[in-house]
Amino acid sequence: MSFAAEVKQELLQCVPAPCCENAQNAALLLFGRMFSAGELSLLTENAAVAEAYAAAVRYFSGVTPGIEHTKGGNCKIDVTDRVVTEAAAAEVGVFLRAGKKRLRPDAFEKLCCRESFLRGVFLVCGTVTDPDKDYHLEFSAPSGGLAEDLTALLEAVGRAPRQMTRHGAHVVYLKNSEEIEDLLGSLGATETAMQVMGAKMYKDIRNTINRKVNFENANLARSMAASNRQYNAICVIERKQGLKSLPEDLRVLAQLRLENREAGTAELAKMLPEPLTVSGANHRFHRIQKIAEKLEENE
């Protein structure tokens, strides 16, 4: 079962309050494949959603439509009985502007009714990506007008959706993980909302660890490069004139480097008879490298 199917399965277990039943059932019909006084239809791969849609038709008209199973494995409901469709359209019409298939701005007095409506919308035209892969929740609205109204409704409940057109479909979507988590929770999918939260926490921890590992690896690479430069410079001096030619402070440090090629400068600084700061050790190595460079130039 996909993550979106899990979300819908959880939402279908929610029982709307009496004041919210109209809203949720109206959303199921209004955001289905077709909604008019002459036809109601839905095409979905989710059998449980098809049953919820059929129940919504019965809720408004008293007639339960049949569910057809297509060769492609989808569930299809197509109602053309004018008595049924006109009865349903009349009931759903209280949520619409006069003479238009657009939501009334004042259609919902209570927050719970708005959330129940959005639950119905998600069931018939919503989907959400597995949070382990990406953060993306979207609604594919049946018309541009309803997409705009859905956007306004989501904004009214504190979300910040965006719109786009994809292959002729009107898509309203969220990409922010916290907004997706909050929306799923408010619709009643608390368990899957927790999955989104858990996935985000895991990714944050993993990214933090990766950043630390990358930082440490970069430091290690810089340290090794510096050690190699110091070692090579000391070898040049030893080969050309011997380490005894160096002042004592440089000779002691050079000898430590030869004996501890992979040690960091900070470690060597602590090994000296009179320990130095890293800055002090680097200054002495800089003098050693200058001597080596001059010897090579003279050659």
- In a domain? residue 203: no
180 and 233 together in one domain? no
184 and 77 together in one domain? yes
Whether residue 150 has pLDDT greater than 70: yes
pLDDT digits (tens, 9 = 90+) for 221-277: 888 888 888 889 899 888 888 888 888 888 888 888 888 988 888 888 898 888 889
The arithmetic mean of pLDDT across residues 21-37, rounded, is 93
The arithmetic mean of pLDDT across residues 275-291, rounded, is 90
157 and 241 together in one domain? no
183 and 282 together in one domain? no
Whether residue 1 has pLDDT greater than 80: no
CATH number of the domain encompassing residue 130: 3.10.28.10
**Mean predicted lDDT score pLDDT of the chain:** 89
pLDDT digits (tens, 9 = 90+) for 231-245: 898 998 888 888 888
The Cβ of residue 85 has, within 10 Å, a number of other Cβ atoms equal to 24
Which pLDDT band holds residue 128 (cuts at 50, 70, 90)? very high
264 and 189 together in one domain? no
- In a domain? residue 208: no
Residue where one domain finishes, among candidates 165, 195, 225: 195
229 and 273 together in one domain? yes
Residue where one domain finishes, among candidates 166, 195, 224: 195
Residues belonging to the chain = 299
- In a domain? residue 44: yes
- In a domain? residue 210: no
Structural domain span for residue 238: 215-298
The count of domains in the chain is 2
221 and 189 together in one domain? no
46 and 99 together in one domain? yes
72 and 176 together in one domain? yes
Identify the burial level of 71 via C-beta atoms within 10 angstroms of its C-beta, where 0-12 means exposed, 13-18 middle and 19 or more buried.
Answer: exposed
237 and 188 together in one domain? no
103 and 168 together in one domain? yes
% of the chain at pLDDT higher than 90: 42
245 and 113 together in one domain? no
Q: What is the pLDDT of residue 299?
A: 66
Q: What is the pLDDT of residue 99?
A: 77
Q: What is the pLDDT of residue 42?
A: 94
Residue where one domain finishes, among candidates 195, 230, 251: 195
Which pLDDT band holds residue 26 (cuts at 50, 70, 90)? very high
Q: What is the pLDDT of residue 25?
A: 95
